[in-house]
Amino acid sequence: MTSNEQSTTSRAVLVTGASRGIGRAIALAFAAQGDRVAVHANTSREQAESVCAELPGEGHTVVTADVADPEAIGRAVDEAAATLGGLHVLVNNAAIFTAHPPQEVDYAQWQQAWERTLAVNLLGPANATFRALPHLIAAGGGAVVNVSSRGAFRGEPNTPAYGASKAGLNAFGQSMALALAPHGISVGTVAPGFVQTEMAREVLDGPGGDAVRAQSPYGRVARPEEVASAVLWLASPGARFSTGTIIDVNGASYLRS
């Protein structure tokens, strides 16, 4: 299948971390345009099944794996491709966000936070992408889209491993954009700020919520669907020549040059 054919034919799409929030919105967006979607989750298979049941169209599936486990995520990618009949798009969305202020945690907690965060947020996408390559090449090309964060640019003092992992993800995506273009595979990245999800609810509903919303001149945070729209475009054949791009979805709450 060529890139032009993909624009009018149902594609096979794997979205990691799709059992809720941004991942759920991304899965729904692809399914709404007729694509077949593999909804990935770690341990929350019941939630993933619920999302899968929401998806319009047919041919969707659920795969489970700890993204931090190289063998498990590799098997999940292969399972998704086998069930969907190939793979045209990989969306690396799964991530964790764990507070570990350097002045408040001990050395063991510090090491644990770094090891787990990098394993999920950076090594996970790297391994998923590696395992997806044979399937993407066999499909005649496709797209990898990584979900990063504005924290990669502005810094995250209370979650430094998170900021570092997302900065690494940005660099990984741009390296892969150079490496995979000859195979007809584009690699793009979306960098949201705060998004109205369950993960952010505690902050947004707390005493600091108004200050967070005020960071954007719109006076609000992003909706999951707005992040999904950017992912959808980066995965489209029309975005092929924008490979290596990082799209900010933060409502001008953080502007970089």
**pLDDT, tens digit (0-9, with 9 covering 90-100), for 168-212:** 999 999 999 999 999 999 999 999 999 999 878 888 999 999 999
Facing residues of 59 across strands? none
Q: Give CA–CA dist 151/88, Å, rounded.
A: 29
The answer, yes or no, to whether residue 228 has pLDDT greater than 50, is yes
What is the reported pLDDT for 3? 39
What is the reported pLDDT for 203? 86
Work out the pLDDT band at 118, boundaries 50, 70, 90: very high
Work out the pLDDT band at 4, boundaries 50, 70, 90: very low
Domain boundaries, the chain: 3-249
Positions marked catalytic:
162
Instruction: Looking at the structure, give the CATH architecture of the domain made up of residues 3-249.
Output: 3-Layer(aba) Sandwich (3.40)
Determine what percent of the chain falls in helix, strand and coil, rounding each to the nearest 5: 50, 15, 35
Calculate mean pLDDT across residues 204-233.
96
The answer, yes or no, to whether residue 1 has pLDDT greater than 70, is no
Contacts of 31 (CB under 8 A, 6+ apart): 37, 55, 56, 57, 60
Contacts of 55 (CB under 8 A, 6+ apart): 27, 28, 31, 37, 39
Question: For 62-99, how does the pLDDT look when each residue is reduced to its tens digit (9 = 90+)?
Answer: 999 999 999 999 999 999 999 999 999 999 999 999 99
**C-alpha separations of 166 from 30, 32, 121, 173, 239 in Å:** 24, 28, 7, 10, 22
Neighbours of 119 (CB within 10 A): 18
Share of the chain above pLDDT 90, in %: 93
